[in-house]
A and B are shown apart, each in its own frame.
Chain A
Amino acid sequence: MSGPISGVTGGQRFIDDVAEGDELPPMVKNASRAQLFLFSAATNNPHRIHYDREYAATEGHPDVLVHGPLQGAWLTQFISDWMGPRGRLLTLTLQNRGRAFPESDLTFKGRVKAVRPEGIVELEAWEEDADGHVLVPGTATVRLPRRE
């Protein structure tokens, strides 16, 4: 087997084991400036607020900003890792409420809002900064397999 193995994927989650109110294990991200550069490159995004601190200051930002879509990719990872490989992400919503900065802990948290009989789980999930401010509130709907 050649591909990398995710350090956070903890196996498969089944609908049978999920209950309303369950909390998702938190995931912490801390982006280096190099990671921001790589994400700009991977999305062909030349927006200077993500790599040019002097320019970012002219828009009123104390530092370069973490991309909204990078935080969206992290939210997707957070939920996908919780589900396990046989889970399916059906919907995802997220809002960008506050600025996220590099070299600073960003913590993803979530909880189960509802479990529907057909194997669908509704989640709320969000990203907080180091002070506990919610920067990215979100929701997701996922489908989980049933134990055989």
Chain B
Amino acid sequence: MSQTESLVPDEAREMIGEPLSEPVTSTITAKEAQRFAYAAGDLNPIYFDEEAARAAGYETLVVPPTFLAWALAPYRPATEVRTDGLYRGGGARTFKLRVQRVMFGGEEWDFLTPVYAGDTITSTTRLKDLEEKVGGSGPFVLQTTETTFMNQEGQIVARVRGKSIAR
């Protein structure tokens, strides 16, 4: 690899703005939302107690906001994991960067309307940006995806821009 070769191949750059997979739809049960809240140690009554949720102005039990990022991911066979344990790229459209490792960098969420247990949510993820940068430990790519979540009534309930650092 030459010194000047970009970490972002042209084929990857051409994906900016494009959907990374077909839309994913799933109904979020109270039980799985509560499993997430329990695992995080967050016993907020609006996730567990319908009366408390209604008293707080909600229609019914609330789904912990950031659980949306996980609630829709389809389950995969255990054989489809790589050495590091992560699932192999399963999206309909993947892109490759000239990097070894991708790390979770951060998230920017917009919560537009509450998500309730029992809602059927459809998510669409697009590749938003690939920025080449240079940091203390060398060049890296700041990869931004944007996922939009819509409920069964066609309302956008949330958006998240996910940042990953690929180096």
A residues contacting B by CB (< 8 A) are 1-7, 9, 29, 35, 38-39, 41-49, 52, 55, 59, 68-70, 72-74, 76-77, 80-81, 85-86, 88-96
Q: Which residues of A contact B104 (CB under 8 A)?
A: 68-69, 96
Return the contact of A93 from the options B32, B39, B57, B107 (Cβ within 8 A).
B107
What chain B residues lie within 8 Å of A76 (beta carbons)? Answer: 42, 64-66
Contact with A along B62-99 (1 / 0, CB 8 A): 00111101100101001001001111000000000000
> Which partner residue on chain A sits nearest B45 by CB separation?
A3
How far, in angstroms, from A86 to B81 measured CA to CA in the complex? 42
CA distance A54 to B37 in the complex (A): 28
Contacts of B81 in A (CB 8 A): 46
Q: Is B84's CB under 8 angstroms from A96's CB?
A: no
Q: Which of A42, A48, A68, A73 contacts B84 (CB 8 A)?
A: A48
Cβ of B5 to closest chain A Cβ, rounded Å? 24
Residue from the list A38, A88, A89, A95 in contact with B163, Cβ < 8 A: A95
User: Which of A35, A49, A80, A96 lies in contact with B39, CB distance below 8 A?
Assistant: A35
Report yes or no: B57 in contact with A86, Cβ–Cβ below 8 A.
yes
B40 close to A (CB within 8 Å) = yes
Q: Give the distance in Å from the alpha carbon of A39 to the alpha carbon of B41 in the complex.
A: 10
- B109's nearest neighbour on chain A, judged by CB, is A92
The answer to the question of B43 belonging to the interface, with a C-beta cut-off of 8 Å to chain A, is yes
Least distance between B145 CB and chain A CB atoms (Å): 14
* Top-3 shortest CB links A-B: A3-B49, A85-B56, A3-B48
Q: Are B46 and A4 in contact (CB under 8 A)?
A: no
A93 touches B108 (CB 8 A): yes
Within the assembled complex, what's the spacing in Å between the Cα atoms of A104 and B106?
21
B18 lies within 8 A of chain A by Cβ = no
